Chain A
């Protein structure tokens, strides 16, 4: 009788010992961590913003640069939740954290090779028109212990332009082209507003997708042709944005006109409307800025 009881006692003692092996590991104090918190930049997402509702973030890349501009690490996440759920072990010191998101479609980042902070750029190709892309940058000091949070305030990279031809007839064609869009965007270079993120000085022509006909409920026989797209903002150094519109009525002669306005900025939406019913009075504006000026071409 005693022996089984003795064995039972030992087994229970050993069982009671096991949990101690995983007890209360207070490793908060050991080492450090860098956490990335992604938020929207309230200033750049105000009235006239490109987006009415915040989009889902996909394809988020976090670049960790040293203050000397050398890339220390880059991590890619699928969504904002993954970014928030992970932390990064980095030595104590000063860092520059750059985040890009939604760089998809015809957009790309030149990160296939290790590039310096200054060289990091977002480019727009000839593929399908992209959605909006976002970036942020922050200087942080990571302590030797504890968790340092880098608050990444996302700002949009691209402008958005919508071109309308009111009074168009079905079967007509519309082509719009921005002549001096930036070739790329540098998220880590300072801009004139005292922040970071600037379009390149090098320009490129960007052709919007072909306009589509939409029946206008105000007229029985005519409608509206429209096209819009995200595109690189106006190149740095350009004093105005230049848009060329070519409208060809069905069976008619193409009409090409060029319009100028203030430079298109990142994150802003612009609309240019050509009203054929008003004897080709051109009506263009961007939200909260100025009218478009017509230039004979």
Chain B
């Protein structure tokens, strides 16, 4: 039994590390799911584990519960929700307690054998009827949000730690005649839950899923039986949940989305062709600029200026709009899916031989500034190299690495190279 507990402990620690470590890796995964509010209902079948259990010796006594939840999804990876639920479950003695001859006195105490002169009952003749309420705060970590290939999937596989307060009222009755012997009062517990849930977004606004999880409760047993030998006190429940996505975004999310849309071309599908990870080598061409991340991180004004150029390109005859080239996580080589955009840029530069451009490279938030600054420059260089290989004079192209782009929470859009047409005074 001891080893089993140790194994469980390590298993959960491993799960926690699996969830936590990617969050501290080089880059935060990109998202396509927008921050949004949501709400819904869920319900399932709980099984209690204490001195008595729902899987009793004579019969399995599953319960039922239902509740409502509502929360906010910060990103495809994380969401936070509150919930309230209530339900009932039944519990009775297991074989081990019955074979041990355990006996419950009317005084509510455990006895190894019947106590002379005291009314009581054998454990095997008793059951606990439990009424439960729970109010909790739940944190959802979508495992599919950890990988760029799956972060836009309508599916979500979430690991959900949860903390809350649980109220139980438990009556102890005899199984044969259902006679009430010990009436339970209100008993509050601190409830800690680990839940695994799989859900799918249906259409724009609906989601449906299933879940399973365990809720551990502090304090006396939910079965209202005296504690002896068995120290467990938890509820395993499984069920379904149905939700509605309200689609309402925060101001910040709207602003971020607006900025991203203004500077980027639509992403055409998933980037499935990935190149191997390469460490960016030091590059120091004469016409390149490596801007230290801490100093040059494009602040809002800088990005605004850049995007202004792109936005006004069509409005002025002298400016040209170029597509934005996106990169994979920790990549600086251009994926084949972006080749069409390079061809378009090439075509524009060939048509406007008077135009000089500067290519700005960016990275997402994951990783250190020291790592991301050269990576961003390599991205810009990668685009420049492709263009020069296809006939554009190198003198027309300068590059700059801006490191981490902290103006957006959308990491997928952050990993990019933006081609900026230089004004004539700038090119001079």
Query: Per-residue 0/1 for A31-64: is the Cβ within 8 Å of any B Cβ (1 yes, 0 no)?
Result: 0010111111000000000000010110000000
Residue B165 at the chain A interface, CB threshold 8 Å: no
Q: A85, B110: Cβ atoms under 8 Å?
A: yes
Question: How far apart sit A83 and B105, CA to CA, in the bound complex (Å)?
Answer: 13
> What is the CA–CA distance of A211 and B338 in the complex, to the nearest angstrom?
119
Max chain B CB contacts within 10 Å: which of A20, A21, A27?
A20
Check A24 for interface membership: any CB of B closer than 8 A. Answer: yes
A278 at the interface (CB under 8 A from B): no
Within 8 Å by CB of B111, from A9, A16, A39, A85, lies A85
Q: A residues within 8 A CB of B110?
A: 85
Q: Bound state CA distance, A83 and B194, in angstroms?
A: 41
CB proximity of B206 to chain A, nearest CB, Å: 26
A16 touches B74 (CB 8 A): no
25 contacts between A and B (CB under 8 A): A5-B74, A8-B139, A9-B19, A9-B20, A12-B139, A12-B161, A12-B192, A13-B20, A15-B161, A16-B162, A16-B194, A17-B12, A20-B12, A22-B231, A24-B49, A25-B229, A27-B229, A28-B100, A29-B96, A56-B117, A80-B117, A81-B117, A81-B118, A83-B115, A146-B99
**CB atoms of B8 and A23 under 8 A apart:** yes
Digitize B114-145: 1 where CB-to-A-CB distance is under 8 Å, 0 elsewhere.
11111000000000000000000001010000
Q: B110 to chain A: closest CB distance in Å?
A: 7
Q: Is the CB of A85 within 8 A of B161?
A: no
- Assign chain B's interface to a size class: 35 or more
Chain B residue numbers with a CB within 8 Å of A24 are: 1, 49, 230-232
Asked if B327 CB lies within 8 Å of chain A CBs, one says no
Contact surface of B with A, Cβ cutoff 8 Å = 1, 5, 8-9, 12-13, 15-16, 19-20, 23-24, 28, 49, 74, 78, 80, 96-97, 99-101, 103, 105, 107, 109-118, 139, 141, 161-163, 192-194, 216-218, 229-234, 365
Choose one: A40, A86, A146; the contact of B100 (CB below 8 Å). Answer: A146
Judge whether B192 and A18 touch: CB under 8 Å. yes
- A95–B2 alpha-carbon span in the complex (Å): 32
| 7 further contact pairs, Cβ within 8 A, besides A25-B232, A54-B117, A85-B110 | A10-B16, A20-B5, A20-B12, A24-B232, A27-B229, A40-B116, A149-B101
Residue with the greatest number of chain B CB neighbours at <10 A, chosen from A16, A17, A54: A16
Q: Which of B49, B80, B161 contacts A16 (CB 8 A)?
A: B161
CB distance from B220 to the nearest CB of A (A): 13
Q: Which of B107, B229, B231, B365 contacts A23 (CB 8 A)?
A: B231
Chain A residues positioned under 8 Å from B13 (CB to CB)? 17
Is A6 an interface residue when CB atoms closer than 8 A count as contact? yes
Say yes or no: B100 contacts A20, CB within 8 Å: no
- Whether A85 lies near B78 (C-beta < 8 A) is no
A293 CB to nearest B CB, Å: 40
Asked if B232 contacts A23 (CB within 8 A), the reply is yes
Q: A13-B19, A19-B192 are in contact. Are A28 and B161 (CB under 8 A)?
A: no
A residues less than 8 Å from B24 (CB atoms): 6
User: Which residues of chain B are near A27, meaning CB under 8 Å?
Assistant: 1, 229
Main DSSP-derived SS at the A contact region = helix
Q: What residues on A are CB-neighbors of B12 within 8 Å? A: 13, 16-17, 20
A-B contact count (CB 8 A): 146
Q: Which of A21, A22, A33 contacts B112 (CB 8 A)?
A: A33
Determine whether the beta carbon of A35 is less than 8 Å from that of B116.
no
Tell me the minimal C-beta distance from A131 to chain B in angstroms: 16
Q: Which residues of A contact B (CB under 8 A)?
A: 1-2, 5-6, 8-10, 12-30, 33, 35-40, 54, 56-57, 80-81, 83-87, 146-147, 149
* A57–B19 touching, CB < 8 Å: no
State the CA gap A268–B53 with chains docked (Å).
49
Min CB gap A132→B, angstroms: 15
Residues of A within 8 A of B99 (CB): 28, 146-147
Q: Is the interface of B mostly helix, strand, loop or mixed?
A: mixed
From B9, B20, B28, B109, A81 is in contact (CB under 8 Å) with B109
Are the CB atoms of B114 and A13 closer together than 8 Å?
Answer: no
Closest chain B residue to A27, Cβ basis: B229
CA–CA, A24 and B229, complex, Å: 9
Determine the chain A residues whose CB is within 8 A of the CB of B74 once the complex forms.
1, 5
Complex alpha-carbon distance, A39 and B118, angstroms: 11
Q: Which residues of A contact B216 (CB under 8 A)?
A: 16, 18-20, 23
Measured in the bound complex, the distance between the Cα atoms of B217 and A23 in whole Å is 11
Q: How far is the CA of A134 from the CA of B217 in the complex (A)?
A: 46
> Do residues A35 and B112 form an inter-chain contact, with CB atoms below 8 A?
yes
Could you tell me the distance in whole angstroms from the C-beta of A42 to the nearest C-beta in chain B?
13
**CB–CB A147/B163 < 8 A:** no
Min CB distance B265 to A, Å, is 27
In angstroms, Cα B13 to Cα A12, docked, is 12
Determine the chain B residues whose CB is within 8 A of the CB of A149 once the complex forms: 101, 112-113
For A10, A14, A15, A84, the residue with the greatest tally of chain B CB atoms inside 10 Å of its CB is A84
Are B231 and A25 interface neighbours, CB within 8 A?
yes
Task: Tell which of B23, B96, B101, B229 touches A35, judged by Cβ atoms closer than 8 Å.
Answer: B101
A6–B20 CB distance below 8 A = yes
Q: Which of A14, A19, A37 contacts B234 (CB 8 A)?
A: A19
A8–chain B nearest beta-carbon distance, Å: 6
A56 to B116, CA, bound (A): 9
User: Given A80-B117, A84-B113, does the pair A12, B23 have CB atoms closer than 8 Å?
Assistant: no
Is there an interface contact between A84 and B20, defined as CB atoms closer than 8 Å? no
Expressed in whole angstroms, the minimum distance between the Cβ of A32 and any Cβ of chain B is 11
State the CA gap A166–B113 with chains docked (Å): 49
- Specify which chain B residues have a CB less than 8 angstroms from the CB of A12 in the assembled complex: 139, 161-163, 192
